[in-house]
Amino acid sequence: MRLSQFHLHTSKETPADAEVISHKLMLKAGMIRKLAAGLYTWSPLGLRVLRKVERVVREEMDAAGAIELLMPAVQPRELWEETGRWEKFGGQLLKIQDRKEAWYCFGPTHEEVITDFARNELSSYKQLPVTWYQIQTKFRDEIRPRFGVMRAREFLMKDAYSFHLSDEDLDRQYRVMYDAYGRIFTRLGLGFRAVFADTGAIGGSASHEFHVLADSGEDAIAFCEGSNYAANVELAEALAPGERPAATEAMRTVDTPTQKTCEDVAALMGVDLARTVKSIALMGQHEPGAPQFVLALVRGDHAVNEIKLSKVPGLADYRLATETEIAGHLGSQPGFLGPVNPKRPIRVVADRSVAAMGDFVIGANVPGQHLAGVNWGRDLPEPDVVADIRNVVAGDASPDGGGTLGIARGIEVGHVFQLGRKYAEAMKCTVLDETGKAAVPAMGCYGIGVSRIVAAAIEQNHDDAGIRWPSAMAPWQAVVCVINPKNDPAVTEAAEALYRDLNAAGVETALDDRGLRPGAMFADIELIGIPHRVVVSGRGLEAGTFEYRRRDAAESENLDRTALFGRIDARLAG
Amino acid sequence: MRLSQFHLHTSKETPADAEVISHKLMLKAGMIRKLAAGLYTWSPLGLRVLRKVERVVREEMDAAGAIELLMPAVQPRELWEETGRWEKFGGQLLKIQDRKEAWYCFGPTHEEVITDFARNELSSYKQLPVTWYQIQTKFRDEIRPRFGVMRAREFLMKDAYSFHLSDEDLDRQYRVMYDAYGRIFTRLGLGFRAVFADTGAIGGSASHEFHVLADSGEDAIAFCEGSNYAANVELAEALAPGERPAATEAMRTVDTPTQKTCEDVAALMGVDLARTVKSIALMGQHEPGAPQFVLALVRGDHAVNEIKLSKVPGLADYRLATETEIAGHLGSQPGFLGPVNPKRPIRVVADRSVAAMGDFVIGANVPGQHLAGVNWGRDLPEPDVVADIRNVVAGDASPDGGGTLGIARGIEVGHVFQLGRKYAEAMKCTVLDETGKAAVPAMGCYGIGVSRIVAAAIEQNHDDAGIRWPSAMAPWQAVVCVINPKNDPAVTEAAEALYRDLNAAGVETALDDRGLRPGAMFADIELIGIPHRVVVSGRGLEAGTFEYRRRDAAESENLDRTALFGRIDARLAG
């Protein structure tokens, strides 16, 4: 592609309304242009990148045995009523009335349509297993569309759906798709993690999310460097630490007149925050024989995990205790609470780490006072419940025993679910099994946010000058820049030859023949993130060299033709 | 592709609600499945064909210098109000309200969006000319969606838009796109015609439609076998025939007691229908000096063309005359009308052919009587107006002098327009020209109904057994059928080898390893229209031959491997 014949339209201005770097850079590079809230036109440059992602996704889906089809964007209300999602899906469902006043929606996902397709197409177990996929435009009416194509309303998605006679076969294909997802993100050159996930609104059982790792990611992920373990921080299990140490101190009172947080108390006392314990006062359900008032304890340097807390028996619908309830049970006020000597019976739920502490610091139930040197069994009874009720933190042991956990931030770009029989049952989709009996197939569903990947890749790969595309996603692998094309025919000729030869060698190369000044030209090429830049100039030709620079290199080098080809593609070096 | 791994789902039943053959065959072949009125899922088989069309379209657009981008399906109302089309577009525009009660539409076309894109992207004449295109999903809320994907509501379209500083440059690109369209339909292997067209709702000046020729087509096209001339029958000019012959007969009255039509009169009299003249009584506008009552005359074997008639001065808003008006002016009743001796002054508008007639037959203005041997100038005055007011018929001279016209039926699959400055002006899209002045660019727009082409190709290419795909559109070029794969490992092995080798030789080949009985297998392969079928059987292997049959051949042949490869692809023969 000659850039003079291509519509490249970069901008020096930093867009005012773009909050994240990928949105800023996509606008500056001219990859997208906003049409309305959450609606973007993909410019020729942007579309080149989008298509590269699409192609890798398609190739890996085909390789995984999935068969491509294409379902309509517009879906009739009747199908969504069969699964109850016409109401349940919520405001993200864009509802449409046609000229005959029949209701439709702009599909945000296609479980209903594919299950309808399946119940018409499938009649026998012999047709199973089957996995269908499409790469298709979806719409979700986000209440606050933002971050450009990261959270757009109209977006491009790959969604796949599999049908199986048995749960075991669903498990097998789930693993096949899981592996295919790994290959997709690896081929795209992205740092990613597959994490255990909550199944959310789609429903079902097993589920993994695929996250592109980036500091700006909305989700926190716990992962083990030494193994494949990864999970959303909220779902990752915090293991019990080692044995509880023996008491070495006597319990004593410490004056903490204004110190209401563990941080302040630890600072005042000059002790490690990990020696302190936080008390959270809750009201649980009425259960026979157990006080309704609960004190949940986590270490001062840990955070309570509400999902885990709600899984403790009696706490499914817990709420925070009121100040009156706290005063009634503990005779104290928030900031100085603790499980030692309550006024009335309470239930103590200790995190595993807290249960393993000795000589700890905790509120004294007296305003302005904490207790230090506290020990279980000696100064207060053993906890009523010991459970995992905190978020994991970096340095925790990995639940799979593979080492210690790190915490990273991620952008969700893929999701695989085992849906089970929820949709097939609701929509009466059956096949005849080997014995001639009608059987409801088990389903899997597998999504990838194709357009979102483009933004996520930029979040992970950029610098001050612009985007740094991984090779597989770059609009072109290389650009040949011509300096002063009009003044020196030899330069133009050499650049044309190089452009031709690189393309012939399989390196997708553009020719920057726009006649810009070098500074403006190089700024554009860096902004749009081309991995390899070659400059052809009169001076270089005299010396028999080209000026070569990798997008991620600090300096350029003068290379002869053979060295240049070798540098751009190691496969071409020999 | 192994068909055992592909979801092929044909049906023997003829669908009840399918009216046209392409719709029937696409359902029977399992290419599409209806989701709701005018909404279809493209099955894996259907999508393979759709993608082939898409690829040819994309390649030719790229070759024509058009640059691909991707615009949203959902478009904001505000843009459509700038051009006045929010109201004017009519019921086909699917209007949508989002959760914030803002109005959008599901784009039926993208003139507004591209012009908005252009006014933001383009600032200088140096960026012109530019042609952008997309292959994207559109929605038109047809009042009566039917014929399957031929007239669906949601469909796949290629739409391109070009921007130019001058009308001459628009003309140039229009010709480039016109030629590209020709190459597209030629490569797809379709019989087609480019025809002059009315510009319809999109507006603008020059315009051609591209029609795939098929007997079931909704549009009648006049075309010249000896030249490139083609036009919609309603727009094709009917030339004046030769000189008017001299009178040879005296005018006489013929009794036609019950003969009210030219056909009946000609039959009664035993004369050629082309010797009779039809009179149509109309009321035109009040014009000074001209009677409002008009008698329009066309030859008995011709049909009046209402569009042409309305272009005669004074007939822009004509209506049919009432029986009272007819009696008042002619003293007769319909069936026996004519221009000879009216009761009151009338205006006679004669078709060119009628003005060139002598000794003709026409109503006598007396119930039950016609006149024969009528001649202009002698029996009645020369016509007030001589004009082209009829549809052309097969055998007419082509307006371009290239020979005689034929009439064919066609399915519109493409349309190119010169939009001019209508949209750019309405939306205030300007660029600075060479002199630094703001100039409104001229626009062209160029559409292809990608999904419709699939149906049109079937209308043109089918037989009793099913579809006969042109090579470029076939889901596979060839299928290797295995007879009794389970009983004879040598057959399976030979079939696998052939399947592998054909694909390696560049022939896209499927392997029918589904284990069906030969009859059912062959019926499927014929129904889905694969151009080349090869059967591998134990008997053939013994003889060292394969059974080969072209989809359009009456018989199969037994060929050895070399002959087989040569037959399937002449390029592989050597």
pLDDT at residue number B7:
86
CA atoms of B419 and B201, how far apart (whole Å): 11
Residue A521 reports pLDDT greater than 50: yes
Q: What's the pLDDT band for B200 if we cut at 50, 70, 90?
A: very low
CA atoms of A425 and B573, how far apart (whole Å): 55
Residue A573 reports pLDDT greater than 50: no
DSSP string computed for A347-358: EEEEEHHHHT--
**Residue given tokens 């493209």 in the structure block:** B42
What's chain B's average pLDDT? 93
Strands A509-512 and A532-536: unpaired
User: Using the beta-carbon criterion (under 8 Å), do B35 and A137 form an inter-chain contact?
Assistant: no
CA dist list (Å): A380 to A338, A387, A408, B184? 10, 18, 38, 85
Give the residues across from B96 on adjacent strands.
A96, B104
- B319 vs A218, more confident: B319
Tokens (6 digits) for A454: 């483009």
User: Using the beta-carbon criterion (under 8 Å), do A91 and B99 form an inter-chain contact?
Assistant: yes
Residue B443 reports pLDDT greater than 70: yes
User: How many residues in chain B?
Assistant: 574
Return the amino acid letter for A12: K
Q: Which of A43, A120, A139 comes nearest B33 by C-beta?
A: A120
Q: Residues 329..348 of B with a Cβ closer than 8 Å to A: which?
A: none
Q: Average pLDDT in the B206-235 region?
A: 86
Q: Average pLDDT in the B220-238 region?
A: 85
Residue B489 reports pLDDT greater than 80: yes
Residue B486 reports pLDDT greater than 80: no
pLDDT at residue number A199:
46
Give the residues across from A3 on adjacent strands.
none
What's chain A's average pLDDT? 93
Strands B192-196 and B207-213: antiparallel
- B204 vs A382, more confident: A382
Return the amino acid letter for A41: T
Whether B106 and chain A come into contact, CB under 8 Å, resolves to: yes
CA atoms of B115 and A421, how far apart (whole Å): 48
The tens digit of pLDDT for each residue in B83-126 reads: 999 999 999 999 999 999 999 999 999 999 999 999 999 999 99
Q: Which residues contact A553 (CB under 8 A, 6 or more apart)?
A: none
User: Using the beta-carbon criterion (under 8 Å), do A73 and B141 form an inter-chain contact?
Assistant: no
- This complex has an ipTM of 0.85
pTM: 0.85
Residue B237 reports pLDDT greater than 70: yes
Whether B33 and chain A come into contact, CB under 8 Å, resolves to: yes
Q: Average pLDDT in the B236-252 region?
A: 92
CA atoms of A220 and A176, how far apart (whole Å): 26
Tokens (6 digits) for B390: 């009829």
pLDDT at residue number B199:
46
CA atoms of B469 and B188, how far apart (whole Å): 10
Instruction: Decide: helix, strand or coil at residue A200.
Output: helix
CA atoms of B293 and A160, how far apart (whole Å): 69
DSSP string computed for B338-378: -SSS-SS--EEEEEHHHHT--SEEEEEEETTEEEEEE-BTT
Tokens (6 digits) for A282: 């809750």
Alpha carbon of residue A229 to chain centroid:
15
Q: Tell me how close the Cα of A67 comes to any Cα of chain B, in angstroms.
A: 6
Residue B302 reports pLDDT greater than 50: yes
The tens digit of pLDDT for each residue in B268-294 reads: 999 999 999 999 999 998 877 788 999
Return the amino acid letter for B400: D
Q: Residues 81..100 of A with a Cβ closer than 8 Å to B: which?
A: 91, 94, 96, 98-99
CA atoms of B195 and B235, how far apart (whole Å): 9
Question: In chain B, which residue's Cα lies nearest the Cα of A156?
Answer: B72
Tokens (6 digits) for A173: 């294909």
pLDDT at residue number B288:
79
Residue A244 CB neighbour total at 10 angstroms: 15
Residue B17 reports pLDDT greater than 50: yes
Range of lowest pLDDT (A61-65, A68-72, A140-144, B105-109): A140-144
User: Using the beta-carbon criterion (under 8 Å), do A96 and B98 form an inter-chain contact?
Assistant: no
Q: Average pLDDT in the B320-337 region?
A: 93
Question: In chain B, which residue's Cα lies nearest the Cα of A94?
Answer: B98
The tens digit of pLDDT for each residue in A470-511 reads: 999 999 999 999 987 777 889 999 999 999 999 999 999 999
Q: Average pLDDT in the B206-230 region?
A: 87
CB A40 within 8 A of CB B72: yes
CA atoms of B286 and A449, how far apart (whole Å): 66
CB B315 within 8 A of CB B339: no
Residue A140, CB half-sphere, CA atoms under 13 Å: how many? 19
Q: Residues 37..66 of A with a Cβ closer than 8 Å to B: which?
A: 39-44, 46-47, 50, 65
pLDDT at residue number A205:
62
DSSP string computed for B201-212: GG--S-EEEEEE
pLDDT at residue number B146:
85
Residue A574 CB neighbour total at 10 angstroms: 6
Give the residues across from A50 on adjacent strands.
none
Q: Residues 149..178 of B with a Cβ closer than 8 Å to A: which?
A: 153-154
Strands B219-224 and B230-232: antiparallel
CA atoms of B396 and B404, how far apart (whole Å): 5
Q: Average pLDDT in the B486-511 region?
A: 92
pLDDT at residue number A233:
85
Q: What's the pLDDT band for A405 if we cut at 50, 70, 90?
A: very high
pLDDT at residue number A203:
44
Strands (E) across A72-129 are located at 74-76, 94-97, 103-106
CA dist list (Å): B483 to A423, B486, B526, B534, B550? 39, 9, 16, 11, 18
The percentage of residues in chain A with a pLDDT greater than 70, rounded to a whole number, is: 98
The sheet carrying B252-255 orders its strands as B252-255, B369-374, B360-366
Whether A15 and chain B come into contact, CB under 8 Å, resolves to: no
pLDDT at residue number A368:
94
pLDDT at residue number A202:
43
Range of lowest pLDDT (A205-219, A382-396, B412-426): A205-219
Range of lowest pLDDT (A136-150, A193-207, B221-235): A193-207
The tens digit of pLDDT for each residue in B22-39 reads: 999 999 999 999 999 999
Q: Which residues contact A172 (CB under 8 A, 6 or more apart)?
A: none
Burial A412-423 (b: 16+ CB within 10 A, else e): bbbbbbbbbbbb
- Of A411, A391, A282, nearest to A347 (Cα)? A282
Whether A13 and chain B come into contact, CB under 8 Å, resolves to: no
Query: Vertex B531, ends B529 and B537: CA angle to 5°?
Result: 100
Catalogue the long-range contacts made by B522-527 (C-beta closer than 8 Å, 24 or more residues apart): B522/B481, B523/B10, B523/B465, B524/B8, B524/B10, B525/B479, B525/B481, B526/B465, B526/B466, B526/B551, B527/B10, B527/B25, B527/B28, B527/B29, B527/B465, B527/B466, B527/B467
CA atoms of B297 and B351, how far apart (whole Å): 6
CA atoms of A7 and B69, how far apart (whole Å): 10
CA atoms of B452 and B155, how far apart (whole Å): 8
Residue A192 reports pLDDT greater than 80: yes
Q: Residues 539..568 of A with a Cβ closer than 8 Å to B: which?
A: none
pLDDT at residue number B571:
57
Q: What's the pLDDT band for A291 if we cut at 50, 70, 90?
A: confident
User: Using the beta-carbon criterion (under 8 Å), do A69 and B47 form an inter-chain contact?
Assistant: yes
Range of lowest pLDDT (A275-289, A547-561, B178-192): A275-289
Mean pLDDT is highest, among A46-55, A142-151, B327-336, for A46-55
pLDDT at residue number B570:
61
Q: Average pLDDT in the A141-158 region?
A: 93
CB A162 within 8 A of CB A34: no
CB B182 within 8 A of CB B190: no
Q: Which residues contact B172 (CB under 8 A, 6 or more apart)?
A: none
pLDDT at residue number B483:
87
Q: Residues 113..132 of A with a Cβ closer than 8 Å to B: which?
A: 113, 116-117, 120-121, 127, 130, 132
- A407 vs A41, more confident: A41
Whether A31 and chain B come into contact, CB under 8 Å, resolves to: no
User: Using the beta-carbon criterion (under 8 Å), do B132 and A91 form an inter-chain contact?
Assistant: no
